[in-house]
Structure 1
């Protein structure tokens, strides 16, 4: 049996103690392990409920960091998690390897290789795993159990320290409970994470952590499809109200009468169809957070009533004389420029200042550097589970095509494109194989993908000096043209414009665009 020099382990501990942040700490840990044990790939994974999340990898493709491994879907990882000692897999083990197709400088299935897994325990609780892979058969057979136990203990201590430092930075009083809430809720709903390593996303996460701990109103700004609802959920999860409800209301879908009833509730008989008393969203969110999506679409009369609630904390249901006090934090979102709406009389300035105590700008996907491939791999993992693939990966030409595209529909468009590509690949592929998505599967026209964004400046119509009027005229012409192309079909037109159908209908209505249908009789 081969033992590792104890001096090396002591140096590791001292080195880790001087690390500046978790990322640095994890990278140093893996580098030292690779010095001590020869391997082609090593991965540190943290345990969040039933999901293993990569925290650091070496020898594996960078996109591995976007993967999320459900324990019950990966037999090797499940076996390591159920063990209280190091697990050496035989070189000819026929269990599927979770890192198939992800090893650097190697395409396709992993050949016969050595695999070692170390469960990481802290206070008798499993906190993560360490996996090592070598292309050499029986590479780990001569390493003593004692050495592996020391490495596992050191790795577990490193991971525990990192988690505790992160928890303390969020909230000293609720550290343990908050981390549990974050790890559980993040995976209860698909798309529950703010994935991205670009500078703008790091800045956004920093701003979210800063404002979440306060009780300020938050206004989330950004284009359609960037993930404003996800930001709202993250603000709520990180707030002191996280155990209370997060109530959602889409303001764009409401008429003036319905908006007031939805916000403040109504009494039985208050209007036609009100057959019973009904609490409004403010009352449902009492003690928690109310997320007002597309707040720029609220009618002016309702804006005034919303402002009074924000000022006094009191609501008056439609058809009732009595008022009720509520304690609700408002998080609002819009893709409109509310300052311009104020100038044109479409939005109240006093309400804007009440809502935008702390604005958060969610960057467009085109501004997020290399996040496209990280997000693509995240959506690939979801498609793998939903469609029953063994493994899905992007080919080099598909990755290039995704990186060259301007993403006018942002993250939502990327999700839909990856989902469609996976479905197309399923038609002619064996689910037991590692399937590569090629550029042919990616439904992005080559001429669009190749065009740099904003290649030519837009020339305004002659005689038009008002930017809003020019923009609306352009929108009106474009929507009419697309509707004609699609025979008046709103769903197909919305898909052509990379828009939600409901948003397109509402925008068309505001621009005065209607579809006239006639029944003609033939004599």
Structure 2
């Protein structure tokens, strides 16, 4: 029987991703079409969970239902829905089918059906073809039968996932949302399927159940805040606040008040009592981002709080009890800061009870394409484009690049390339817009990676020589200036062992302006 491969998989113990991927591959072969996708409904968008026949970065895209009328129509109907070649509704997969010719071909035929689990919409199953007339009456009738099997596969996978979650994470408290206190929005999603990332997520899910302090270690731009949010979301504290403190942005004179609060009259301008971030996070989690930037006097007070669970507002006579889990993050080598006297050894040991290194993007293989897909879809929607895609050469360029600024730099690269592509003459928003390597501009973005903590170059590199002295034509002036600024900032950070405040003084710029400039250049 035709259904045997699918039925066999339903009776087999398979990982969810494998079961759904095999289903997509079988349906593509059965209907002899160009691509099949299973997309799960999450809030207001559809997330691909299995695709066959689409380019690799398609798995990283998130399709807002309101922006894709074909997907919205499929989701709204309880029967098989077809769109033929003359449909005026744009297809979400235009240019995304993985064809041998490598050209951005439009989809000609499309059909899909809504999938339901326990009487509620779960998502959609879509089939697309480059050949007109692929989906006739027989194909529609056959897909209606396969819908039952697809829903069964989804249901079995969900049950297996729930059983596994009950074994490894604490149960939800009454009133908790199953996505956690920080919500399930796609902007907070960690995208990727690489082995290093999956190992990290498993480790975080295990340690989340404890109250141990966690120290997230990683280069600038790896997404430490997202991993902190996941730790909180998977913890027993998920229904309580997660409070984020950017330690690098705290003025030294106000850092103590921000963290621990103050009473009226504690200093000039303190006209009322004010609770600090620790009290705001009571019962929940406090995320200390860039913790290595905290001034030494504040480090001493933070240590006392971690030791005895008490805080004392600035100017107050009595301490207050707080019950807070602390997650800290840094892109600096705190061990070397301890040796240099810039960070307290006792606080370091308190914060690093469970250190978690986050792998840089260059070590995550094809995750770079999935994350690029996420940014491509965001920019497609933002710019009102019909389709925004990467050429094969551009995909390879993304894989080869070292990504000194990691995911934040990738976001800037895709956004800049999309704008460049749209600004070219003859390009309009109704086209399938393809990003080529030249638009990504990675050759002129060969920024020196942020120096590993402890690295001490002899001096900042000299600026590029004037045009004509090297025998090559200069690039655009802004690119040359940006490359020079990246190099100087990176070198200064290396000499200052990652201390942004010291680097700002060395470069003779305001610290807050340096942070803004570094973010624009993809260094933060």
Give 1:263-274 correspondences, 5 Å limit. Answer: 263-274=259-270
Residue 220 of structure 1 contacts residue 332 of structure 1 at CA under 8 Å; is this kept in 2? yes
2:52 to 58, 78, 83: 58
Give 1:151-300 correspondences, 5 Å limit. Answer: 151-171=146-166, 173-174=171-172, 180-181=178-179, 185-187=183-185, 190=187, 192-300=188-296
Q: What runs of 5+ residues in structure 2 fail to find an aligned partner?
A: 465-476, 511-524
Which deviations, in whole Å up to 9, do the C-alpha atoms of 1:128-174 show, x marking residues without a partner? Answer: 11111234433332327664333112111211222232233234633
Residue 167 of structure 1 contacts residue 179 of structure 1 at CA under 8 Å; is this kept in 2? no
Please name the residue that 2:430 is paired with: 432
Please name the residue that 2:460 is paired with: 478
Report the secondary structure of 2:137's partner residue. coil
TM, length-normalised to structure 2 = 0.84
Which deviations, in whole Å up to 9, do the C-alpha atoms of 1:374-410 show, x marking residues without a partner? Answer: 2222111111111211111112332333233221111
Give the Cα–Cα distance (whole angstroms) in 2 for the partners of residues 81 and 341 of structure 1.
55
Aligned-pair CA distance for 1:186: 3.7
Aligned-pair CA distance for 1:333: 0.3
Please name the residue that 2:440 is paired with: 442
Please name the residue that 1:410 is paired with: 406
Please name the residue that 2:375 is paired with: 379
Please name the residue that 1:3 is paired with: none
Tell me, yes or no, if structure 1 residue 41 matches structure 2 residue 35.
yes
CA RMSD of aligned residues (A): 3.4
1:395 to 377, 391, 397: 391
Q: 1:473 to 1:137 in 2, by over 3 A?
A: closer
Give 1:494-509 correspondences, 5 Å limit. Answer: 506-509=501-504
Please name the residue that 1:4 is paired with: none
Which is further off, 247-256 or 275-284? Answer: 247-256
RCO higher in 1 or 2 (8 Å CA, sep ≥ 6)? 2
Give the Cα–Cα distance (whole angstroms) in 2 for the partners of residues 45 and 327 of structure 1.
40
Residue 35 of structure 2 contacts residue 51 of structure 2 at CA under 8 Å; is this kept in 1? yes
Give the Cα–Cα distance (whole angstroms) in 1 for the partners of residues 238 and 62 of structure 2.
24
Report the secondary structure of 1:185's partner residue. coil
Q: 1:187 to 1:447 in 2, by over 3 A?
A: closer
Please name the residue that 1:95 is paired with: 89
Aligned-pair CA distance for 1:319: 0.6
Give 1:316-331 correspondences, 5 Å limit. Answer: 316-331=312-327
Report the secondary structure of 2:302's partner residue. helix
Aligned-pair CA distance for 1:90: 3.0
Q: 1:387 to 1:496 in 2, by over 3 A?
A: farther
Give the Cα–Cα distance (whole angstroms) in 1 for the partners of residues 394 and 216 of structure 2.
32
Residue 372 of structure 1 contacts residue 403 of structure 1 at CA under 8 Å; is this kept in 2? yes
Which is further off, 352-361 or 172-181? Answer: 172-181
Give the Cα–Cα distance (whole angstroms) in 2 for the partners of residues 17 and 29 of structure 1.
13
Please name the residue that 1:27 is paired with: 21
Give 1:78-117 correspondences, 5 Å limit. Answer: 78-105=72-99, 107-110=103-106, 112-113=108-109, 115-117=110-112
Q: What runs of 5+ residues in structure 1 fail to find an aligned partner?
A: 1-6, 459-466, 517-523
Q: 1:35 to 1:505 in 2, by over 3 A?
A: closer
Which is further off, 198-207 or 254-263? Answer: 254-263
Which is further off, 327-336 or 420-429? Answer: 420-429
Give the Cα–Cα distance (whole angstroms) in 2 for the partners of residues 442 and 361 of structure 1.
29
Report the secondary structure of 1:39's partner residue. coil
Give the Cα–Cα distance (whole angstroms) in 2 for the partners of residues 505 and 339 of structure 1.
17
2:415 to 405, 415, 419: 419
Q: 1:256 to 1:88 in 2, by over 3 A?
A: closer
In the alignment of these two chains, the number of paired residues is: 487
TM, length-normalised to structure 1 = 0.84
Give the Cα–Cα distance (whole angstroms) in 2 for the partners of residues 203 and 177 of structure 1.
30
Residue 215 of structure 2 contacts residue 329 of structure 2 at CA under 8 Å; is this kept in 1? yes
Aligned-pair CA distance for 1:269: 1.3
Q: 1:97 to 1:144 in 2, by over 3 A?
A: closer
Which deviations, in whole Å up to 9, do the C-alpha atoms of 1:403-438 show, x marking residues without a partner? Answer: 332211111111111111111112122011111112
1:140 to 127, 135, 139: 135
Which deviations, in whole Å up to 9, do the C-alpha atoms of 1:63-97 show, x marking residues without a partner? Answer: 11011101111111000000011112234222111
